[in-house]
Amino acid sequence: MKSMRSLHSHTRLLALIASIALPFASAQPKPVTAERIIAADSEPQNWLAHGRTYGEQRYSPLKQVNDGNVDKLGLAWSYATNSTRGLQATPIVVDGRMYATGVWSVVYALDAKTGKELWAYDPQVPREWGRYACCDAVNRGVALWGDALYFATLDGRLISLDARTGKQRWEINTIDRTKPYTITGAPRVIKGKVLIGNGGGEYGVRGYFSAYDADTGRLAWRFFTVPGNPRDGFESPEMEAAAKTWTGEWWTGGGGGTVWDSMAYDPDLDTLYVGTGNGSPWARSIRSPGGGDNLYLSSILALDPDTGRLKWHYQVTPGDNWDYTATQHMILAELPIGGKPRKVLMQAPKNGFFYVIDRVTGELLSADKYIPATWASHVDMKTGRPVETPEGDWSKETKLIVPAAFGGHNWHPMAFNPQTGLVYIPAMQPAGIYPPSTEFLRTGKYTRQEMFWNPGVDWNNYANTVYAILAQTGGNLPQDRGYLKAWDPVAKKTRWEIEYPAFWNGGLLTTAGNLLFQGTGDGRFVAYSADQGKTLWSVPTMVGIVAPPVTYSVDGEQYIAVLAGYGGAGAVTGGDPRTMASGKYLNEGHILAFKLGGTAPLPKISERNLDIPEPPASTATAAQVENGKYRYAATCMVCHGALVVSGGVVPDLRRLTAEKHSIFKQIVYDGVIHSAGMPRMGDLVSEQDVADIQAYIIERSQQDRAAAATAAAKK
Ligand code: CA
């Protein structure tokens, strides 16, 4: 009996040890492999890769949450990122752990069931680098491979961490650090190689993307997207061919073509697809004065992922002239076209046309407007080329063109639901002012503003045209609209659509539960029926959402998670703060996870003080204010917003305190608060310019104080 008891207690002890050890063992995710990602549908509880699968459909087979019970969704947990700028990441979820990125490229590892932080990693991005980011200090997420995690930083580094501990494995530099490159995109890992591009097309850089060995960080290959100076020799036969489509001394402006977001992979065809960006500068008359298509700007590239050699390309906007990138989300699917199943690639690039392409051959199958674009009448299916309109030609005079540089669709991911056959597009209809450079029209020369936003337009024209249109329309720029569109890629038309108050809204997730999830710029998280677009559930997040939701499950419970934190180009440069949550509330970032019956309270978000304080008295002359207006548009507007009206993500300068006004020169010219994210501008503007910018800000503050007083008196 004694020995039995002893054996029994020994067994109990073992069981006790096992019960202590097991949670640790099971809490560690299993290594992520190509086989797992390719067979992602066999483990729908996870979200293993950026678009869930290599084909990037953003469709989940999970259906515990469905159109019959979605109204029972409640918050399961929230995690405060302690940031007030844009959150754009797709969380990766592996075996109960979530990995996401936030502002300034910080990485978070959380328990996906509770939201408890497991570790966080701050790569210490120098805040001065924010000056090179056209579109906010954002990051779109991580990739996992084996037990390692990969992400890139705003200042161009690629870093690998141990996903279990957050300890650094390696860090490499991917850019020429004397050039204003930035990285906001998520890396992808294919066959043991980490793929990453970069941004900077508005800053005079030359685009490329690279493949690095996942174990060592060693460069495997690099594909430049536009040719450099032919005198330096060509890196590849692709560049030699591309150079024939450029004229003049294009390399002096960098050329552009940056690969800042979209990639997809077909393991059966062993083909990598990459979308490329706009021309640098935007104005093609400056960039390539003798004309030409300017390969491989605004193109979809199909490549061999082992070698980086090009298989085929399709250029959506030949000779781009409008910042019409093809870096937008690409979805791989099989569609019945002409009665035959075809392996297709689908994209809704900025230019307003929805493209269906045979991804085996690169053959264009259809190209149809998903918004009323005015720059081209149609795409000629014989040549595969857009037919440009006179309305789109801004080479000689300022034009208002749809879409604006924000695009008919920007980086916000779409989703494809194989059950409905619909592609859901976070679509926009912004109108853009394109003013040609008066210097270039007069002299045939264009003075580049080095190391700064530099798209080849004229800011005097820009500001004056904005004021003329505002005067005509009583204060509203026309047609800045935001939509959710359900696009039928076979019938080539919109099946249904929802119009939103803000034009800049969130990415999409669709599920087998006949659901479609989207966050909005006005601060809601909404579930629609995927087939009909009926609103089934909605919660006020009070924070605008641009990130795409994901879904996963832990211990048999399905979660829907999304990052809430407004940001990106449409939030900093554009947008009407009256339509955006960030115009009314502080933009306090959170990761939110919902489940059926969740009872956690939504985070309390602070209201913004919208009063415009009395600015200091100004003695500036009208000519100085005019110079300040021009300098503001050229130097400040890209982050602080047109007409000194900010969407709230970056400080609204009409609300500067007396203390900030008193050190305005030190802030702007000397950079005394650069560690807070406001870079030094002393190399771009003179001390007199800074004084004039301040005078212009004071004038705008006074104008809007007076307008607010008049409005209050009318009430
Ligand atoms: Ca661009």
Backbone angles phi, psi at 602, to 5 degrees: -65, 145
405 Cα to the center of ligand 1, angstroms: 7
Give residue-wise pLDDT tens across range 61-107.
Answer: 999 999 999 999 999 999 999 999 999 999 999 999 999 999 999 99
Lowest mean pLDDT among 13-17, 110-114, 346-350, 709-713: 13-17
Q: How many CA atoms lie within 13 A of 96 on its CB side?
A: 18
Give residue-wise pLDDT tens across range 143-157.
Answer: 999 999 999 999 999
Identify which has the larger pLDDT, 461 or 279: 279
325 Cα to the center of ligand 1, angstroms: 6
277 Cα to the center of ligand 1, angstroms: 6
Residue 3 clears pLDDT 70, i.e. is over it? no
421 Cα to the center of ligand 1, angstroms: 31
How high is the pLDDT of residue 27?
A: 67
Identify which has the larger pLDDT, 291 or 641: 291
635 Cα to the center of ligand 1, angstroms: 17
Structure tokens at 555: 């211990």
Structure tokens at 36: 């797992």
Q: What is the Cα–Cα distance from 432 to 207, expressed in whole angstroms?
A: 24
Average pLDDT for 547-552: 98
257 Cα to the center of ligand 1, angstroms: 9
Burial 681-692 (b: 16+ CB within 10 A, else e): beebbeeebbbb
Give residue-wise pLDDT tens across range 587-639.
Answer: 999 999 999 999 999 999 999 999 999 999 999 999 999 999 989 988 998 88
Structure tokens at 618: 């100004």
532 Cα to the center of ligand 1, angstroms: 34
Average pLDDT for 505-525: 98
Q: What is the Cα–Cα distance from 321 to 323, expressed in whole angstroms?
A: 6
477 Cα to the center of ligand 1, angstroms: 21
Which helix or strand (DSSP H or E) is residue 502 part of? none
Give residue-wise pLDDT tens across range 356-366.
Answer: 999 999 999 99
Instruction: Indicate the burial class of 622 (C-beta count within 10 angstroms; 0-12, 13-18, 19 or more).
Output: exposed
323 is catalytic: yes
How high is the pLDDT of residue 478?
A: 62
Average pLDDT for 640-653: 90
Query: Is-contact 406 574, C-beta < 8 A?
Result: yes
How high is the pLDDT of residue 13?
A: 47
Cα angle, residue 549 at apex, residues 127 and 276 outer, rounded to 5°: 60
How high is the pLDDT of residue 136?
A: 93
The DSSP code sequence of 226-254 is: S---GGG--SSHHHHHHHTT--SSGGGG-
How high is the pLDDT of residue 214?
A: 98
Predicted confidence band of residue 21 (pLDDT cuts 50, 70, 90):
very low
Query: Is-contact 263 273, C-beta < 8 A?
Result: yes
Name the 3-class secondary structure at 691: helix
Q: Which chain residues have CB less than 5 Å from ligand 1, an ion?
A: 201, 278, 323
Average pLDDT for 535-562: 98
In the β-sheet with 188-190, what is the strand arrangement from edge to edge? 188-190, 193-196, 208-213, 219-224
Structure tokens at 113: 């069931």
Residue 1 clears pLDDT 80, i.e. is over it? no
How high is the pLDDT of residue 461?
A: 67
Structure tokens at 133: 């980011």
282 Cα to the center of ligand 1, angstroms: 8
Query: Is-contact 139 151, C-beta < 8 A?
Result: yes
* Mean pLDDT of the chain, nearest integer: 93
Give residue-wise pLDDT tens across range 165-193.
Answer: 999 999 999 999 999 999 999 999 999 99
Task: Domains for the chain: give ranges and CATH numbers.
Answer: 54-88+399-430+480-608 (2.40.128.630), 432-477 (no CATH), 622-714 (1.10.760.10)
Give residue-wise pLDDT tens across range 430-480.
Answer: 988 898 998 999 999 998 877 788 888 887 667 677 777 777 667 666 658
The DSSP code sequence of 321-389 is: -S-----S-EEEEEEEETTEEEEEEEE--TTSEEEEEETTT--EEEEEESS--SSEEEEETTTTEEEE-
Of 575, 574, 525, the C-alpha closest to 545 is 525
Q: What is the Cα–Cα distance from 297 to 326, expressed in whole angstroms?
A: 8
The DSSP code sequence of 437-483 is: PHHHHHHS-----TTS---SB-HHHHHHHHHHHHHHHTS--TT-EEE
How high is the pLDDT of residue 450?
A: 77
Residues recorded for the chain: 715
Give residue-wise pLDDT tens across range 572-595.
Answer: 887 788 899 999 999 999 999 999
Of 662, 660, 684, 680, the C-alpha closest to 672 is 680
576 Cα to the center of ligand 1, angstroms: 21
Backbone angles phi, psi at 434, to 5 degrees: -115, 95
DSSP state of 166: -
Q: Is the peptide bond before 403 cis (omega within 30 degrees of 0)?
A: yes
Catalytic residue among 67, 155, 320, 323: 323
Q: What is the dihedral of CA 386, 264, 486, 407, to 10 degrees?
A: -50
Kindly give the interhelix angle for 622-635 and 459-473, rounded to the nearest 10 degrees. 100
How high is the pLDDT of residue 677?
A: 86
Query: Is-contact 528 536, C-beta < 8 A?
Result: yes
275 Cα to the center of ligand 1, angstroms: 13
Give residue-wise pLDDT tens across range 211-244.
Answer: 999 999 999 999 999 999 999 999 999 999 999 9
Average pLDDT for 693-714: 95
Residue bearing tokens 């798209």: 455
Query: Is-contact 362 296, C-beta < 8 A?
Result: no
202 Cα to the center of ligand 1, angstroms: 6
The DSSP code sequence of 121-142 is: E-----GGGGGG-TT-S-----
Q: What is the Cα–Cα distance from 684 to 253, expressed in whole angstroms?
A: 18
Q: What is the Cα–Cα distance from 120 to 209, expressed in whole angstroms?
A: 27
Give residue-wise pLDDT tens across range 286-303.
Answer: 999 999 999 999 999 999
326 Cα to the center of ligand 1, angstroms: 10
Please report which residue ranges of 579-714 form alpha helices under DSSP H: 622-635, 637-640, 658-662, 664-665, 687-714
